[in-house]
Structure 1
Amino acid sequence: DDFENCPEAEDFADSKATKNVGGDAAFNQPIRINIHYNFTALEGELSLAQQQQVKSVMSHVKENLESILTVRRTPNPLRLRRYCRHDKDDFVLTGPLEPCPDQCLNKSLLCKQFPIPAEHLQHCVECNGDSSNCVEAYSDGPGIKDTDLALYVYGTADHCEPGVVAYAAACQLEDQYDRPISGVINFCPTDDISDEEEVFQVAKHEIFHVLGFSASLYPWYRDENGNPRTRRDTNGNPPTNANGYYVEDENTVKMVNLTDWQTRFGPTNKIVIQLVTPKVVEVGRRHFNCDTLEGVQLEDQGGNGTTGAHWEKRLLNYEAMTGVVSQNAAFSNFSYALLEDSGWYKVDYSNASILVWGRGDGCGYTAGSCGGYIDTKKRQNQPMAPFCDFLNSRLHPQNLSCNIDRTAVASCNLASYYYDLPREYQYFNSGANFNSVASGLPIYGGDVQAADFCPFYADLTYRAPRGICRKGIPLTDNNEAAETYGPRSRCVDHSGKWQITNGSNTYTAQYSAGCYEYQCNNSAVIVMILGQSYTCSRAGQVIQVDQTADG
């Protein structure tokens, strides 16, 4: 499921008065987040239970982020700008002292459509077309005390296309360093996500967009000294493209031509988008073990709310700031480094989650297709993880294994589409269970488009919560694989399918992996099966399990 398809971003030049110079303002103050809920606005449709869940989760996310991020404090109280009508267009005043040429809008809105309390707005002076005769139409509201970021939370179906769980956008930036000071988050009325842990991941993901992970915010990024990363004009604004949108310089986001993108037809070129800011590059080089890495790719699939505003799913997969929900989402050093590279935050990296996907896979992994990576690993007789080449059925998957971080039993999501994939995403002339004479080669691909149709071992989404080790249930009702589920469980591959004897009957178990409780003991892993412990002391070790159980 896509996280979001954001509405059009605010015109930030009209919502701030940028200064071009850096500064030495204190950068060690924990961010203060104020949350305002309005679940009735715009015909909100969240149930009362969903509203309470969102409130509970947002409180936890707020606490989490306030312990991770420090900022330069916002003047107290925080007041937001009121819209001004001019030439039949609505726009935000550029500063608290600048009058509205026409009329101050009588509605209290944020991001052009979301209602907020009038008490949160600045005063507004209107001139009604006569700059010599301006009067104050609205006075300052009390504002919001002790706040660095004001978040407004809604539950409307507006902009909620099929598969969209939530969306968010920053709405106004502060005057001196361009940091976002207000934003909206909308939770779509859907039953697709009801687990509180997953709602937490979604909420934190959305706030990351407000904080800085957004294509509309890249042009406003600052360096470590507080100076703009992108050149500014005399009004303090970044350059614009032919469509009038602000664009960042190539020291922030850069288009790169990958010249060895392997397909089943041979190599071709592929243009990708990379974030090339210093902390992100540092994290990427260390994670991928690639000293020549020049940037980390951003997503190039999906709509306006996904493209360029998430990490490339092929490369980082279950990182929480990719554009597709993963049950084991990890807010890793990549996303924390992006926030720090915005120039608006200092980040406590000790809170980051460990990301296994792509770790140590080298420069070839980052600069080529998964098809080329798989072919190279086959020639070297090495595992092709994190990818796979077993053609599967979506509803009845076979050849189960563990996902890359062993949090779930998984199946290779290589499947048949109903149409030919784009040539750049046709990777296979053969696979584990098909060869070059297969008629379906043009339609074979991984079932996650955002991952560039690359196949990987994915959770059994059609059978959830079965197979989710920390919170799910056994794969079969009779638990034929003697699994144990809970917070101390991880997925373990079987060396083959188990033979099970029940009285005089012997049969082969359906699955070739399962979830089992484990514990670490020095350099060994101890796996518990039916109350008996088995010690694994080296990678790839095969353990013999031969037990008798009642029932």
Structure 2
Amino acid sequence: MWWLLLLGVATSRCLHDETQKSVRLLKPQVSQPVPHFRSSIVPSPGSLDPQPLRIHTYYTRDSVSSKTWARDGDKNRGVSRALAALRETTGRIQGILAVIPVQGPLLLSRDSTQYCRAVWGDPDTPNYHRCSLLNPGYQGESCLGAKMPDAHLHGYSLWPEHGLPQLIQPDGPGVQNTDFLLYVLVTHTPKCHKELCLKSLESSEPSSLSLGTTSAELYRALASSTLRKTPSICISWPAVIAYAACCQLDPEDRPLAGTIVYCAQHLTSPSLSHSDIVMATLHELLHALGFSGQLFKRWRDCPSGLSAREHCSTRKQVTRRDKWGQLLLTTPSVSHSLAKHLGVPGALMGAPLEEEGSLSSHWESRLFQGSIMTAAFDGAQYTHLDPVTLAAFEDSGWYQVNYSAAEELLWGQGSGLEFGLVSTCRNGSSDFFCSSSGLGCHYLHLDKGSCSSDPLLEGCRMYKPLANGGECWKEGNGLLNRAENPHGEIYHLHSRCFLANLTSQVLSKDKVSQPSRAPTGRCYLHQCTHKGTYEVQAEGSPWIPCPPGKAIQIPGYYGLLYCPQGRLCLSYKGTSAATSPLMNFSTQDLLFQLSLGLTGTPGHSLGKEQREELAEVVLQALVTRGGTGRCYFHSPSITAGLVFTVSMWKPPGCEGPSTATLYRTLTLILQEKPLQIHHGEGIFTTEYSLTTEYSKLLTLLDHNPSMIDQLLSAGSCLLLLILVGALGTLAYQKRATLQVGPSTT
């Protein structure tokens, strides 16, 4: 029961709807020109072509919320992680969305209800409805708790009943080369914590949790003896990575500014990876840019294209309910994109939205598991920027979308019109859902999973990743069962979860006629051979072809292994990082370790926390220099002697060149031009060096094809000798098994 409970805890929820409701959306007031006031120049209709969206981030330590919790230690540790994730996310958005650019500096509006206490109320007065009395308590503008500097804002004046105004605050200089201004806070607020109350361990259902919940801290609390002896208990823990809202719009309702709030205490959790923060940032930023129940009604219809703005109008209907009461996003690109995903000809009525009260800002979880814009967040490795979400931004009428940046959404792919309905998810019509108890495989086959539900699934059940130790791709998980491994499992970067009942244990005579144990989720190595086809390997076995949809036998083992259909090797293009049978699995193939010595300002020493922050800064500079994603780099650290070390390997879903190619490129670049990093009051310069013989070997192999041939030949001979020896041992064992031997192929 413990691990079933933790499965529910691992799923997390987003706070956007309740956050956005608390913000008043501002847009430029349409009024007569005001002397001494400048404004951002809005281009005339059709005068410009869309350009990549320029996002300017403004980090502020000032918060106008009186409820923030000041914990400077946590804040400082989280700032560098948050800003590193922001740099990666905003760079990614720039390659996805394009807009008609803002001309001149971006200037934001002031809220007249804040700086003005009274306005002229006589319609016959020349200055009707202009500010007649200032609010003496006015302290400036804020956006979701972030203080906005006067330099970013229009000015304001006090108007007499007749005549010209008295200028109180002139226009600021504005922000150049910016289409969206994002304010950034790293702090603590009441939203950053979540309380979970359980009436009893055996009967209570875990409540829905907020974006960024991890189970590590909660597990320790739930596993305490207190809960076992107490009928009810409430636990408060850091439950949110970040939340965001849009604050200001342009005259055509496109978002101009917003704020993202990072919860500092949660950012320091060791269970939270950089990729998790990046995906959470992307989710929240997409809300602020327009994927929001508050903004759907402002979406525009531009039949002649984004550049021909004179033909755009507000969309008449963006959401509606179908005959079953399901809320749908009904815009054309979204409807066609979902139909294509499900394999349905033509277009659908729309894409289902999650039922979250009067507004909804997320896709329905039953149909969109793994999408960046569902309300549930299970971790970066399970989350993708899908084509249907990009179609929504195209339908907003504000953006031009680069669909080549979309990631494949596997959940429900090709499953037909009735996929994800509450009425069909439990009848066995789709293997994306489950109905049994016990262990199986998460649909991405990266993890073992347990068949369970949550409030978002509304009674439908799916295999959810186990909280601890179920990751097939983590080699360390296999260390626990090295001494005894009767199922032949292999935990490795290229291992995947398969339903199987394999065992190497000899059956007695009285068990020969008995049915074998039900298959369960097990981890085995796989390698792609063609698109959609692959081979598998258990411990000590040769590579065996695994036809999708079939069950196979593995030499040396009793039982069967079931090959999933339409799940693995779908993006295979002729070469695969998984194809490395001659590598020693214990060394984790294509693993590199890059080491850079740092020379700093004389006498400049760093504490542990400062070194952690500096490691993130160096890593971000390294990522920028390499021109690739952060996903290649793992476990960055800096020693007291200022040696920066980072592991390099390419996990599943990481797009780009091979690790060897990137490693070779970086070594050449860093030798020619070292990195120079400014951090705090210090300036640090990198000195290139290698720290492992394994790295030297792989670099040498890249430059010496003849040596590769020699090693491959030697490896082939060695593999043949091992195989002959294994077959001899197998033949001997077969004679000693009471005539009940393992299956052979």
TM-score range, shorter chain: 0.7 to 0.9
* Aligned residue identity for 2:388: F
**How far off is 1:404 after superposition?**
1.5
**How far off is 1:113 after superposition?**
3.4
- Asked if residue 110 in structure 1 is aligned to residue 142 in structure 2, the reply is yes
Match of 1:94? none
Q: Note closer, same or farther for the CA distance 1:137–1:511 as it changes in structure 2 (3 Å cut).
A: farther
Match of 1:454? 460
Name the SS for the 1:316 alignment partner.
coil
Match of 2:279? 201
Name the SS for the 1:220 alignment partner.
coil
Q: 1: distance between equivalents of 2:338 and 2:97?
A: 21
* Aligned residue identity for 2:520: S
2:244 to 168, 178, 181: 168
- Asked if residue 468 in structure 1 is aligned to residue 505 in structure 2, the reply is no
Is 1:280–1:337's contact at 8 Å kept on the other side of the alignment? yes
Q: Note closer, same or farther for the CA distance 1:78–1:22 as it changes in structure 2 (3 Å cut).
A: closer
2:261 to 177, 186, 190: 186
Is 2:448–2:521's contact at 8 Å kept on the other side of the alignment? yes
**How far off is 1:401 after superposition?**
1.4
Q: Note closer, same or farther for the CA distance 1:36–1:401 as it changes in structure 2 (3 Å cut).
A: same
2:174 to 126, 133, 143: 143
Q: 2: distance between equivalents of 1:154 and 1:482?
A: 49
Q: Note closer, same or farther for the CA distance 1:86–1:499 as it changes in structure 2 (3 Å cut).
A: same
**How far off is 1:145 after superposition?**
1.2
Output one character per residue of 1:8-32: Cα deviation in whole Å (capped at 9) or x when no partner: 25443655659xx994243431111
Q: 1: distance between equivalents of 2:30 and 2:490?
A: 58
Q: 2: distance between equivalents of 1:343 and 1:218?
A: 11
TM-score, length of structure 1 as denominator length? 0.73
Q: Note closer, same or farther for the CA distance 1:114–1:539 as it changes in structure 2 (3 Å cut).
A: same
Q: 1: distance between equivalents of 2:545 and 2:184?
A: 49
Output one character per residue of 1:206-235: Cα deviation in whole Å (capped at 9) or x when no partner: 00001110011112111234455537xxxx
- Asked if residue 525 in structure 1 is aligned to residue 534 in structure 2, the reply is yes
Alignment of 1:21-36 (within 5 A): 23-36=45-58
Match of 1:351? 405
Match of 1:230? 314
Q: 1: distance between equivalents of 2:471 and 2:45?
A: 49
* Aligned residue identity for 2:278: F
* Aligned residue identity for 1:310: H
Q: Note closer, same or farther for the CA distance 1:277–1:154 as it changes in structure 2 (3 Å cut).
A: same
Is 2:110–2:153's contact at 8 Å kept on the other side of the alignment? yes
* Aligned residue identity for 1:311: W
Q: 2: distance between equivalents of 1:220 and 1:404?
A: 36
Alignment of 1:434-445 (within 5 A): none
Matched length: 452
Name the SS for the 1:412 alignment partner.
strand
Q: 2: distance between equivalents of 1:498 and 1:169?
A: 53
Match of 2:416? 362
Is 1:79–1:143's contact at 8 Å kept on the other side of the alignment? yes
1:498 to 503, 506, 528: 503
Output one character per residue of 1:19-75: Cα deviation in whole Å (capped at 9) or x when no partner: xx9942434311111111124534454432221111111111011111111110012
Moved more, 222-231 or 402-411: 222-231
Q: 2: distance between equivalents of 1:89 and 1:452?
A: 49
Percent identity of equivalent pairs: 25
Alignment of 1:312-461 (within 5 A): 312-327=364-379, 328-365=382-419, 368-369=421-422, 371-375=423-427, 377=428, 384-391=430-437, 398=438, 400-413=439-452, 446=453, 448-461=454-467
RMSD: 3.5
Q: 2: distance between equivalents of 1:185 and 1:315?
A: 28
Is 1:332–1:355's contact at 8 Å kept on the other side of the alignment? yes
Name the SS for the 2:113 alignment partner.
strand
Alignment of 1:538-549 (within 5 A): 538-546=548-556
**How far off is 1:131 after superposition?**
6.1
Q: Where do 4+ consecutive residues of structure 1 move more than 6 Å?
A: 86-91, 508-511
- Structure number with larger C-alpha Rg: 2
* Aligned residue identity for 2:477: P
Is 1:409–1:513's contact at 8 Å kept on the other side of the alignment? yes
Is 2:362–2:373's contact at 8 Å kept on the other side of the alignment? yes
Is 1:10–1:172's contact at 8 Å kept on the other side of the alignment? no
Output one character per residue of 1:427-463: Cα deviation in whole Å (capped at 9) or x when no partner: xxxxxxxxxxxxxxxxxxx2x21222321111113x2
TM-score, length of structure 2 as denominator length? 0.55
- Asked if residue 286 in structure 1 is aligned to residue 321 in structure 2, the reply is no
Name the SS for the 2:112 alignment partner.
strand
Q: Note closer, same or farther for the CA distance 1:88–1:72 as it changes in structure 2 (3 Å cut).
A: closer
Question: Where do 5+ consecutive residues of structure 2 fail to align?
Answer: 1-11, 32-42, 120-128, 195-208, 211-239, 558-725, 730-745
Match of 2:188? 157
**How far off is 1:293 after superposition?**
1.7
Is 2:489–2:523's contact at 8 Å kept on the other side of the alignment? yes
Is 1:99–1:124's contact at 8 Å kept on the other side of the alignment? no
Name the SS for the 1:181 alignment partner.
strand
Between structures 1 and 2, the one with greater helix share: 2
